Amino acid sequence: MSRKKRRLWILLLCGLGLGTATALTLTAFEDSLVFFFSPSDLAAKPMPPDRPFRVGGLVEAGSVVRSTNAEGRMETAFLVTDGARSLRVTYTGILPDLFREGQGVVAEGRLRPDGSFAASTVLARHDETYMPPEVADALKRAGHWQPGQPPPPAALWNTLTAPATN
Amino acid sequence: MDGNAAPRGRSLHRFANPGRFMRLSGAVLPWVAMLGIAVSAVGLVWGLGFAPRDWQQGDTVRIMYVHVPAAWMAMGGYLGLAIASFTSLVWRHPLADIAATSIAPVGAVFTAICLITGSLWGKPMWGTWWVWDARLTSVLVLFFLYLGHIALTSAFDEPERAARPAAILALIGAVNLPIIKFSVDWWNTLHQPASVTRFDAPAVHVDILWPLLIAGLGFLFAFAAIVLLRMRTTILERRARALMLARAAEARAPEAVPA
- The SS3 assignment for B180 reads helix
Tens-binned pLDDT, residue by residue, of chain B (259 aa): 344 444 444 544 454 577 888 998 999 999 999 999 999 999 999 999 999 998 888 899 999 999 999 999 999 999 999 999 999 999 888 899 999 999 999 999 999 999 999 999 999 999 999 999 999 999 999 999 999 999 999 998 887 888 999 999 999 999 999 999 999 989 889 998 888 877 777 888 888 999 999 999 999 999 999 999 999 999 999 889 889 999 998 888 765 555 5
Contact flag B52-A132 (C-beta cutoff 8 Å): yes
Residue of B nearest to A135 (CA): B55
Tens-binned pLDDT, residue by residue, of chain A (166 aa): 788 888 899 999 999 999 999 999 898 888 778 889 999 988 888 888 778 899 999 998 888 998 888 888 888 999 999 888 999 999 998 888 888 888 899 999 998 888 889 999 999 998 888 888 888 888 888 888 877 677 887 777 776 544 444 4
Chain A closest CA to B67's CA: distance in Å? 14
Dump pLDDT digits (tens) for B33-62.
999 999 999 999 999 999 999 888 889 999
ipTM of the complex: 0.84
Instruction: Single out the residue of B68, B67, B64, B74 nearest to residue B176, CA to CA.
Output: B74
**Helices B206-252 and B64-91: angle between axes, nearest 10 degrees:** 40
**Residues in chain A within 8 Å Cβ distance of B127:** 95-96, 121-124
Element (DSSP H or E) covering residue B184? helix B176-186
Contact flag A126-B56 (C-beta cutoff 8 Å): yes
Task: Choose, out of A130, A134, A139, A161, the residue to mutate when testing the contact with B (most B CBs < 10 Å).
Answer: A130
Element (DSSP H or E) covering residue B24? helix B16-45
Q: How many CB pairs under 8 A join A and B?
A: 137
Chain A closest CA to B87's CA: distance in Å? 9
| B237 alpha-carbon distance from chain centroid | 20
pLDDT of amino acid A47: 83
DSSP character string of B113-175: HHHHHHHHHHHHHHS-S----HHHHHHHHHHHHHHHHHHHHHTSSSHHHHHHHHHHHHHHHTT
B52 touches chain A (CB under 8 A): yes
Contact flag B127-A154 (C-beta cutoff 8 Å): no
For residue A143, which amino acid is it? G
Contact flag A38-B193 (C-beta cutoff 8 Å): no
Q: How many CB atoms are closer than 10 A to CB B122?
A: 20
Contact flag B203-A158 (C-beta cutoff 8 Å): yes
CA distance B200 to B190: 22
Dump pLDDT digits (tens) for B160-196.
888 999 999 999 999 999 999 999 989 889 998 888 8
Contact flag A7-B133 (C-beta cutoff 8 Å): no
pLDDT of amino acid B12: 42
Task: Choose, out of A6, A12, A22, A35, the residue to mutate when testing the contact with B (most B CBs < 10 Å).
Answer: A35
What residue ranges do the domains of chain B occupy? Answer: 2-256
Burial class (CB in 10 A: 0-12, 13-18, 19+), A70: exposed
CA distance B160 to B172: 20
Contact flag B195-A129 (C-beta cutoff 8 Å): yes
Supply the pTM of this predicted model. Answer: 0.87
Chain A closest CA to B172's CA: distance in Å? 8
Give, in degrees to the nearest 5, the angle at Cα A132 between B189 and B199: 50
Which residues have C-beta within 8 Å of that of residue B217, sequence separation ≥ 6?
Answer: B39, B43
> How, if at all, do strands A86-92 and A74-81 pair?
antiparallel
According to DSSP, the residues that pair with A35 across neighbouring strands are none
Task: Choose, out of B62, B190, B208, the residue to mutate when testing the contact with A (most A CBs < 10 Å).
Answer: B190
Contact flag A125-B61 (C-beta cutoff 8 Å): no
* CB A157 within 8 Å of CB A137: no
